[in-house]
Amino acid sequence: MKTLIRTFFSVIAFALAWFGVISYIHTYTTKAESESADKTATMKADIKLFTFKPKSLEVPGGTAVVWTNGDAVDHSVTNGTPEKLGGAFGSGFFNKGQTFSFTFTKAGEYQYFCKKHDFMRGAIKVVPAP
């Protein structure tokens, strides 16, 4: 009977140790993924009074630009110009308080505009990441 009890507690101790290792591995992996995600730079841009603010930005590759609509009407952030769409990104229409985010990974210059108010224009210059 003592052997059976010892075996039972040994199995329980082994299982707890095993789950502790699994928990540690999961925590370590989650922490590493979180740290990697935290390395993404973010730049904020506003849409206020029918204007993109700032009108132009220069960001290193890998930067996410987040536009926040501060107007009481819906707007879009659409790559290209009204005369020639770019196709790299497009938010669709979003309302006051909502955001649109796009991560720029490729160096170059990206013009954008609002599809509803085509006089609203902006530009992002993406430079190689350091």
Selected residue with higher pLDDT from 87 and 36: 87
What CA–CA distance (Å, rounded) separates 114 from 63? 21
Q: Identify any residues that bridge with 103 across adjacent strands, giving them in sequence order.
A: 64
Q: What would the pLDDT profile of 88-125 be if each residue is shown by its tens digit? A: 999 999 999 999 999 999 999 999 999 999 999 999 99
Of 85, 84, 88, 67, the residue nearest 76 (C-alpha):
67
Mean pLDDT of 72-81: 98
Contact 23, 16 (CB under 8 A): no
Question: Is this structure's pTM higher than 0.85?
Answer: no
Q: Mean pLDDT in the chain?
A: 82
